[in-house]
Structure 1
């Protein structure tokens, strides 16, 4: 019997109800995590179906072992993302028979021995692509490549150095990245490498190495040289006792460049490599193939070549009993129990990953290509299979720490909040390692476990000081997993848990929405009446955890609040002064260092800074991170990357409010996720491949909010009068509750004409992609970045690429004049001097112009 499938609207509407009206969470789940086949058919209606899929598959593995968990017990842990939340790759891939993909979120690759040849460089390039096509993020290190100018035995005579190969690997990432989360890449290099300065500068040129994150591996000797203002010696090979090349540099000069570039463009990140290696439990087995060489793209998992990791997060907010009240407390006993189960689930997922790897190898064997072509991919997965089984590495992490802190009545960034967060992480570490020891009794230790190798490791000794019995049992029975813990960015999954991810401070959204009301109710204000006579009002929607706090403190959650009253409410809450720009950044770094003591891998966290901070502050943060015991650090200064986390100044906001054009396209508008019933709309007509096309752009405060576009087919009733350039898009529902979008305009005589069902007028594939673009617009992505996003879509058919070009042309109309077309060169003079002018691109150097 064929599996039941659902239309996008069926799944979206049911999931919207599941998430209690949260449109972004609903769209994220349907688009990224609902079970679907290669044709886009959807086989899960809501996250309930997904959680049963996960529970049934993991229960199947549990039956192999003693005291196995049942599917119901597992489902209760996953239900509504309340306690345990498997991350992207496991959530998508477990029980998914429609695609052959790994369950691992991240991989590191690298060849043993000498790897400085074109053969080795190209082999790594192919392995990177092979992993990315299976949904994995990849990291690898470039310290093995000869510095620029070194002699080589080929026709070039001298080496080109690191930078051209950075671009090669970046381009491969951009090539494979399509249809979901693929193509994340981390490139790293040792600060000791003579080309490290060129590596650090590589991304400063606009449009270069755009497909990779970059981080510098910094050793203690370099940091001491920075602090003491002394010389530092670079060499190649970087680990050689008899290097071929050495170079003495002023450590502070290079450090200032790292700080400046990070301040200016948010890269490079820094990896405090001696701290990573010194604390690493897997590096106790370095001679057996577990020598850490790089990290995954987000930096939270330092790995040896061909090892990988799957991720899972525990929702900390759910363990706060009586949240936001004077009686609030953290249920440590339930938390410890669930951490133990989470570690067990992670070990089960390794067994599921083995099944996935076998399927990948089977597919490779069955592929029609020659053995010569298939050999690299087969050997790659054989190496991954071996490393995964040898170490059984896991990545148990956390989410909603900011909400947990607020619910406990603490303020993020204070000493009390940091001490409490550290105690929670300490409890997690001990419970996870206890679970791994208990599993070793039942299931056996990881293949190469040897307590003698680990007994002097600082992390293991820290566990022993906190719980001597744990380490005694570990010595006796072993441990199931070589390493267990991380704190990763939970990304889109945090939208579904409706929580703050990782150890980031909280962000408290307040939305304005509209609802239909009874005009006879004297207690209800009527903001406007539509043409059908229906009455509507605007109302405020608070973050649901903030509503919990309001209820605990006796505030009404139904009364009408003014903006001033909302400000006072927020100031009285534990969320006040807990946003990124409010937090004491040095305190945040110290908090990261204190928590790092109880994380065997690493912590991925970005320090978000206002635009006006100095380079000196970035310097202090990086130095403090090293002194505090952090394994890595990344900063992001507001506006340092065009279109990312852009915040407007008050003066800019005032200017944009007065502007009648789209002067605020670069500002983050007020997010209105609940679409108003009516939106003003522009009609744009143009030609695509000699076909007449039409676009309807719904506008909110003059800014694009949604888009409908396709061929202007008169058989579908889309041939509008030539003079119709504006109108209204109206969201309606029929008697069966089905949603429709109607376009209404006035003719020359002032009579209204309505074209019903815009959503049914175009190719259904266009409609589904338009939902994604509209979702991005609705949540405030700057228009130039939306255009860039559309340009970068890798679509499979000529028809849909034609549609993509139509969307791009329609949206360009809303770019402010003089906007730079960043990363694009003039086809005539070859310079990056293009700007948008009335929706067309014009070169400010030679005057060439191009529309469309």
Structure 2
């Protein structure tokens, strides 16, 4: 492949940093069982992946192999499971190419809870992350009719999943990753909010709340908020009608329904919505959790609104998925498309970007055929919808090389244009691939119109449809998906053709955090949609055989590029004002960047609002309301708080300015700065990482 643009300096010329090469070697380089390299170099990794994906093309494999290889060499980076496992069948035949899954709906019974633990263990063993909705389990103290006693509640069962995840080493060189979601109306929601304040508890989980529009409006109006759970048949005689409310619920069997298919729920107690909101915001300010999933917006904007109800996400939140849902990921490295970085007229190579997106779309679609998911339900779900999540990484680094400050109006325009270009090219390929290979099977099915569908899409009635009518999935997807209606405003003929022929896949875009691939093959480009955390910092990395995490010093891609093109000895104090770091971006700017991208991303975005340790709570407390008003699907925050946790990324100043107190066996105390090194148990550790490992109970368990 070639591009029509003739250039002198491009960002591709920046040499790969040594830490980036080391991470590739540790995480993605194929090795045999004796740890001898099979991939000779990074190019060999690309060749292995390209060949595995091209073989899906059958007789056309030789035609597509050089195109796939070109895409990988020009910024297409498949997610970690694909990089690690594609073409590796002879060395690790029982692993998957899928990063993201969600558990099946967990029924409120001991048998189903334990069965789903087994399913989760097999999923983690295959190398996949997994998300669960635990709010389907009844609250602590609720009567269990079969056992004749009260239950310990969902958090006690979450502890089982947590220990299982820690025990089952996730395949392919990474530990297990889990997300727990929880309904804001569940009676145990306050315990969920504060669950991780106990040292070492639920550390294999990210936690996020499912926030509804109804709750947000109750907060704004300072109204009461009922905490309720579905009414068991045996409880009907115990409650009066004014103790019952009706809510949409993922499980309907065994519960009473109204004429809108909503489930009867017993109000256990009532709290003030604003007081519960304050509890959430205080927790996320101090502990960076729980995260915030605007679940009504997720379902409202879901392309598969007609056949799914989403209640959970993958571990980083960029993939809201239905029960047993799975999604494969990939990111385009935006830093590879900058021409004349830092020059008088730096620019972005839009034509080459479109070419990479087009080929990469085909590559990701091919992964479905060789996904290697461990459970039949997961395979069935992926094959029916063929969803994938293509996003980008290096936005912050790219903006810097274009001399655009992250968070500025120009940066919002660029972010939206990148997202829109990726989306439209992706849907063009969805049509072309559908004509060539066939539409996603779910879009060929006849879908029966339900009361809930009529409630969520009033336009159906205006168009003459009635409850019980059957409509092709391709029509419901292309014409009635709110997201596809946005695409139709700029590409009406494309969407009309998708309604006629169907799309190859139901979802195309998602922006992942891309932490390890950004650091390795991205040459420490900024993660996903983020600005760079810092331009020189330490990264905590789990290394085999080490009893605590190891700190690796790295510099941002844009600083490396600046040294390569402008000033070889440049340090942070030499950098122009358009070099921006995460904590210099205001929360409102973080939200605005996410909103600019979300307009054109059909799944979700993993975005973290980083704020300094001394950032005032008064300026922080309305952040999630801003996210709601911006129609985001979710939001996560991070404020360095060494008393609560040790992050993955650490600034040098934070380490120097934080004191850790160790209680010795003889009763004495030892105070150390976070960046001090200490010999403990025969190994050298930083004080910060040793303190964290001992406090959390992870010392010696990596």
TM-score range, shorter chain: 0.7 to 0.9
Corresponding position: 1:130 with 2:122: yes
Residue of structure 2 in register with 1:111 after alignment: 105
Kept in 1: contact 2:53–2:367 (CA 8 A): yes
Kept in 2: contact 1:665–1:782 (CA 8 A): no
Cα-to-partner distance string for 1:189-228 (whole Å, 9 max, x where unaligned): 1111122122112212222222211111000010011112
Q: 2: distance between equivalents of 1:582 and 1:602?
A: 24
Residue of structure 1 in register with 2:254 after alignment: none
Kept in 1: contact 2:288–2:638 (CA 8 A): yes
Q: 1: distance between equivalents of 2:266 and 2:307?
A: 28
Kept in 2: contact 1:325–1:549 (CA 8 A): no
- Cα 1:328/1:193, change in 2 over 3 Å: same
Cα-to-partner distance string for 1:286-338 (whole Å, 9 max, x where unaligned): 2xxxx222001100100011121111110111122222212222222221221
Residue of structure 1 in register with 2:8 after alignment: none
- Cα 1:282/1:72, change in 2 over 3 Å: same
Corresponding position: 1:666 with 2:674: yes
Residue of structure 2 in register with 1:518 after alignment: none
Q: Which moved more, 1:303-312 or 1:176-185?
A: 176-185
Cα-to-partner distance string for 1:765-822 (whole Å, 9 max, x where unaligned): xxxxxxxxxxxx6xx9633346679955558xxxxxxxxxxxxxxxxxxxxxxxxxxx
Residue of structure 2 in register with 1:456 after alignment: 480
Kept in 1: contact 2:533–2:583 (CA 8 A): no
- Cα 1:654/1:622, change in 2 over 3 Å: closer
Q: 1: distance between equivalents of 2:564 and 2:165?
A: 48
Q: Work out which of the residue numbers 358, 363, 376 in structure 2 matches 1:340.
A: 358
Residue of structure 2 in register with 1:409 after alignment: 403
Corresponding position: 1:397 with 2:415: no
Kept in 2: contact 1:639–1:646 (CA 8 A): no
Q: Secondary structure at the match of 2:621?
A: helix
TM-score for the superposition, normalised by structure 1: 0.66
Kept in 2: contact 1:85–1:312 (CA 8 A): yes
Q: Which moved more, 1:259-268 or 1:231-240?
A: 231-240
Residue of structure 2 in register with 1:191 after alignment: 184
Kept in 2: contact 1:647–1:668 (CA 8 A): no
Residue of structure 2 in register with 1:472 after alignment: 496
Kept in 2: contact 1:437–1:479 (CA 8 A): yes
Shift of 1:648: 6.6
Residue of structure 2 in register with 1:243 after alignment: 265
Kept in 2: contact 1:53–1:94 (CA 8 A): yes
Q: 1: distance between equivalents of 2:21 and 2:645?
A: 28
Within 5 Å, which residues of 2 pair with 1:95-110? 95-97=87-89, 98-99=91-92, 100-110=94-104
Shift of 1:587: 1.3
Q: Secondary structure at the match of 1:634?
A: strand
Cα-to-partner distance string for 1:541-591 (whole Å, 9 max, x where unaligned): 975643544676xx553xx67xxxx45521x2521xx11111122111122
Q: Secondary structure at the match of 1:590?
A: helix
Shift of 1:485: 0.8
Residue of structure 2 in register with 1:569 after alignment: 574
Kept in 2: contact 1:186–1:213 (CA 8 A): yes
Kept in 2: contact 1:301–1:601 (CA 8 A): yes
Shift of 1:182: 3.0
Shift of 1:596: 0.9
Q: 2: distance between equivalents of 1:328 and 1:616?
A: 39
Q: Secondary structure at the match of 1:413?
A: coil
Within 5 Å, which residues of 2 pair with 1:341-490? 341-353=359-371, 356-357=372-373, 381-449=375-443, 450-454=473-477, 455-490=479-514
Residue of structure 2 in register with 1:700 after alignment: none
Q: Secondary structure at the match of 1:782?
A: helix
Q: 2: distance between equivalents of 1:551 and 1:42?
A: 30
Q: Secondary structure at the match of 2:24?
A: helix
Shift of 1:154: 3.4
Residue of structure 2 in register with 1:32 after alignment: 27
Q: 1: distance between equivalents of 2:338 and 2:679?
A: 51
Q: Secondary structure at the match of 2:144?
A: coil
Within 5 Å, which residues of 2 pair with 1:411-810? 411-449=405-443, 450-454=473-477, 455-496=479-520, 497-498=522-523, 499-507=525-533, 509=535, 545-546=558-559, 548-549=561-562, 555-557=566-568, 566=571, 568-570=573-575, 572-575=576-579, 578-639=580-641, 641-644=644-647, 645-647=649-651, 664-667=672-675, 704=684, 782-785=689-692, 791-793=698-700
Kept in 2: contact 1:105–1:137 (CA 8 A): yes
- Cα 1:336/1:648, change in 2 over 3 Å: closer
Q: Secondary structure at the match of 1:208?
A: coil
Cα-to-partner distance string for 1:479-504 (whole Å, 9 max, x where unaligned): 00011110001111111211111111
Kept in 1: contact 2:390–2:509 (CA 8 A): yes
Shift of 1:284: 2.3
Cα-to-partner distance string for 1:156-179 (whole Å, 9 max, x where unaligned): 522222221121211111111367
Within 5 Å, which residues of 2 pair with 1:16-415? 22-63=17-58, 69-79=63-73, 82-97=74-89, 98-99=91-92, 100-111=94-105, 115-177=107-169, 180-237=173-230, 239=248, 240-286=262-308, 291-353=309-371, 356-357=372-373, 381-415=375-409
Kept in 2: contact 1:643–1:666 (CA 8 A): no
Q: 2: distance between equivalents of 1:600 and 1:242?
A: 32
Kept in 2: contact 1:150–1:158 (CA 8 A): yes
Residue of structure 2 in register with 1:811 after alignment: none
Residue of structure 2 in register with 1:533 after alignment: none
Q: Secondary structure at the match of 1:423?
A: helix
Q: 2: distance between equivalents of 1:53 and 1:549?
A: 32
In structure 2, stretches of 5+ residues that fail to align are: 1-12, 231-246, 249-261, 444-472, 539-552, 661-668
- Cα 1:310/1:190, change in 2 over 3 Å: same
Kept in 1: contact 2:312–2:321 (CA 8 A): yes
Q: Secondary structure at the match of 1:233?
A: strand
Higher RCO structure, 1 or 2 (CA under 8 Å, sep 6+): 2
- Cα 1:551/1:262, change in 2 over 3 Å: closer
- Cα 1:166/1:655, change in 2 over 3 Å: closer
Q: Which moved more, 1:497-506 or 1:157-166?
A: 157-166
Shift of 1:233: 2.5
Q: 2: distance between equivalents of 1:241 and 1:654?
A: 50
Q: Secondary structure at the match of 1:110?
A: coil
Kept in 2: contact 1:107–1:308 (CA 8 A): yes
Kept in 1: contact 2:358–2:429 (CA 8 A): yes
Aligned length: 602
- Cα 1:790/1:621, change in 2 over 3 Å: closer
- Cα 1:385/1:155, change in 2 over 3 Å: closer
- Cα 1:206/1:475, change in 2 over 3 Å: same
Q: 2: distance between equivalents of 1:651 and 1:546?
A: 21
Q: 1: distance between equivalents of 2:688 and 2:412?
A: 33
Q: Who wins on radius of gyration, i.e. which is larger? A: 1
Q: Secondary structure at the match of 1:197?
A: helix
Kept in 2: contact 1:148–1:161 (CA 8 A): yes
In structure 1, stretches of 5+ residues that fail to align are: 1-17, 361-380, 513-539, 670-681, 687-694, 698-703, 706-776, 796-852
Q: 2: distance between equivalents of 1:205 and 1:136?
A: 27
Q: 1: distance between equivalents of 2:558 and 2:652?
A: 27
Residue of structure 1 in register with 2:238 after alignment: none
Q: Secondary structure at the match of 1:63?
A: helix
Shift of 1:603: 0.4
- Cα 1:485/1:69, change in 2 over 3 Å: farther
Kept in 2: contact 1:19–1:25 (CA 8 A): no
